[in-house]
Amino acid sequence: MRDPMLAPFCRVEFNAQELMAADPPIWRDANKQLVASISCPPRARHAGTIGFTRWRPRPLKDPFNSADFRTQIEPRPGFFAYQPVTSPQTTVAWYLNFADPQLFGYYSGRLFAQDETQVTEHPALGAVREALSKSDIAPLTVENKLPTPALVTGVERRCAVATEPNAAANRPSGLYGNRFSSAPEEAVRKATRAIVPPTISNILAIAALPDNSGEYTRDQILYTLQTAVTGFSAAGIESERLQPAVTEIQIHTGHWGCGAFGGNRVLMALLQILAAKLIDVNKLVFYYGDASGLAPVQEAIQLLDKLLLTSNSLSGLLSEIVNQRFRWGVGDGN
């Protein structure tokens, strides 16, 4: 159900080499400077064209027929691997950026959560931020309290930074979040692997609601669903533009909004799965991290399947989700 009437309200393309020369990322954290020296050594060449688009909220449609839902949900352990697709002429993959309303707004500093890790591994994302900041295109994913997902296509992943705990590599507690900037230089060097040649990623940046408390309201649930539906639908439209012969669109995601923002893992998984079904994404790949992250995904799948048995309207389904009385959690401090 990708809406052909949905179109970006801004589009710009960058030559990757020219972008990195004119508006290189500005790394303010010493360990990120170290990673950049590995991913982008002197005289490094940057290939391809990077596309940037922003999208207005897509209206949600009623009713629906759950019998038409065909989306494959694939839980996977760990975190984004950015593996190249096996059939690039017919498959397009997208990786979520768990964005702040300010797109890539904190990429250069001490933070090293999902957003900042992704930009560090895809340094041209920082260059996109710098270039847009000097233009009349606002680098935002939320504007006037409305979601405006941002898509970046064709960006090189030039390194991989291992963040999991590894005592032998001098990172006994890992490098995620606040641990990265204070880690010894040698630990960061050992954790960083240059990718030669670089792989290419497509990035879908959507911002979850910031941390709150108590039970989720209907408006909060509706906003979150509309954000995901708009972003996933935009990815579908851009996939068909990039590869007219595409037959499989993949969205790679995880526990979006459940780290620093303290989102409810079951609810946020459920809403992403529902969004993927509503717009007929072929495959939603859900990276759940360590073993503790699998149960919320499984619970979300089972609960949504149960609710869909008695719901054929979005309004009714939203009421049933509200009636589950999901509660906000507590941010993880990262």
Question: Which token pair is 160?
Answer: 């991989």
Question: Which token pair is 303?
Answer: 């609960």
Buried b (16+ CB within 10 A) or exposed e, 232-247: bbbbbbbbeeebeebe
Q: Which residue has the tokens 């509706």?
A: 222
pLDDT at residue number 217:
97
> Model confidence over 98-143: pLDDT tens digits?
999 999 999 999 999 999 999 999 999 999 999 999 999 999 999 9
Average pLDDT, integer, range 298-315: 95
Q: Determine the Cα–Cα distance for residues 172 and 315; give it in Å rounded to an integer.
A: 48
- Contact between residue 156 and residue 16 where contact means Cβ atoms under 8 Å apart: yes
Number of H helices, E strands in the chain: 10, 10
What one-character DSSP code corresponds to residue 217? Answer: P
Q: What angle do CA 229, 232, 236 make, to 5 degrees?
A: 130
More confident residue, 19 or 329: 19
Q: What angle do CA 233, 238, 239 make, to 5 degrees?
A: 95
Q: Determine the Cα–Cα distance for residues 18 and 25; give it in Å rounded to an integer.
A: 13
Fold annotation for 8-322: Leucine Aminopeptidase, subunit E; domain 1 (3.40.220)
**pTM for the whole structure:** 0.96
How much is the CA Rg of the chain, to the nearest whole Å? Answer: 19
Confidence of residue 1 (pLDDT cuts 50, 70, 90): very low
pLDDT at residue number 333:
63
Confidence of residue 63 (pLDDT cuts 50, 70, 90): confident
Across the chain, what does the average pLDDT equal? Answer: 95
Counting Cα atoms < 13 Å in the Cβ hemisphere of 54 gives 18
pLDDT of residue 2 exceeding 80: no
Q: What is the residue extent of each domain of the chain?
A: 8-322
Confidence of residue 6 (pLDDT cuts 50, 70, 90): confident
> Model confidence over 273-287: pLDDT tens digits?
999 999 999 999 999
> Within a 10 A sphere around the Cβ of 62, how many other Cβ atoms?
12
pLDDT at residue number 62:
85
Average pLDDT, integer, range 261-269: 95
Q: What is the per-residue DSSP string for 307-322?
A: HHTS--SHHHHHHHHH
Percent of the chain residues topping a pLDDT of 70: 98
Confidence of residue 24 (pLDDT cuts 50, 70, 90): very high
- Contact between residue 69 and residue 314 where contact means Cβ atoms under 8 Å apart: no
